[in-house]
Structure 1
């Protein structure tokens, strides 16, 4: 069972709440089947439940009577599961119990395989094996990290250095020495049910959550592929790489607007244009050569 297949359920009955974990089939049979025999209404309830996967704070509800209602959502992350087990979503002044005997057995196995206790705390006696897996990072990829966060790849700086943005928080980080790993219980063979695949990195450089304050050229120069620049042709080639780096981010249909605007502004600050043909004419005409040691400064004009 995958983590995202677990349904978190809060059953409210006469001033008390009972929490438990179900599979989708269990939920549809136990709750939807008792609410209605209409295929249309059942489909609407299933759709409302499915929407919770993309909305972390959203819970769908089923009203049975004045005294009974059920809230439910798919589990979106290990962090959310920990919070649910630990009572983070419980209402104040409402007696709440976790009904382990009502839970789906596969859901409880998943909790155990994640190294968690039933109260959401870490089972320190439970050990994991980590093994690297083949990975090919692309701009726009959403990667899950074992700390419970999801990161979008803004740019692949080098084979193992990535510029990432936290999907929920909007904060950016340069992940140095990135790789994908599979995590599963020590002493067992990895299976779909007991393993989790996630992103890890050796060291992170945290950049905050304001793209306009990030100097993308410095990031690329420091953490990107290293190229020796000995001649003016080498320099111009590096400038073309930098322009294409900015342009790829600025024109990406899947990145956040704030990131694209920051890349666009940086591109104009450095090259005075965002148009490919104008840039290439300026490049071949030597208008950017002033940054190369020994070249005389050349006056640049802004072109949009």
Structure 2
């Protein structure tokens, strides 16, 4: 078992993913993807050689394994060995059959999960890893989706990620144990209440169905099908937020709350499952692991990927380079 108390150890600062190590994938069939991709490239200083263009008409929520293989091959053939991560700039497609598109890209498509989505998942070799170069070390390129439903909201999201890390500000990581008991399976891994002085960071665990009025959020993790009172909150640049529920990663679905709501509320990155996972804690971000790697200076994409043991059904979304605790040049 991972010791929750380890989150309060004194941390050394780890290197974070750099712009030169990130490729961005633009969907030329979607005007918003083109606009947002160009904004992201300039705002984050992504080398022009790291930009890949593909064409995915009609924004399908789900694509077949065969179509995905074509897409993956089109992306990979443009990437050099120094590329450690890929950002797909679109909202949909986000599913490859029952797999998330980010997991299918990074770990390879897993057809066995689709036989029974409530079965245990395939282990990620990157879970709780110390690697700062996943492709070099493990032959895995991390991936994330940057949603494109609104150009203005996407630009605001990118700006939040880019502004994180300039200075350390007082912040709190909030962990909620809710009345929806089946969605509290990872409460065992909530870090104990306390403070990491070197990061000006407090951790709080609460028995509540919603956080209300907090203005200093750097992490917010809960278990609810719908999360209320998001409009009362203020998320700091680089904030991570997610809810353990069945279909948060079904971004454009109409059932449970979409993970897009977190980004719209001001978070910088989030996570959700695209198909019914059941409530294995391993299929969701482990709160202690996420906190540990984020406060050590990892980027959002690194910390989120390191925190999920079985990510086959899980979709990572947001601004990947956000790193509020990154090592600053002296």
Alignment TM class, shorter chain as reference:
under 0.3
Larger radius of gyration, structure 1 or 2? 1
> Which fold has the larger relative contact order, with Cα–Cα distance below 8 Å and residues 6 or more apart in sequence?
2
* TM-score, with structure 2 as normaliser: 0.23
* TM-score, with structure 1 as normaliser: 0.24
Could you say which structure has the higher strand fraction? Answer: 1
Could you say which structure has the higher helix fraction? Answer: 1
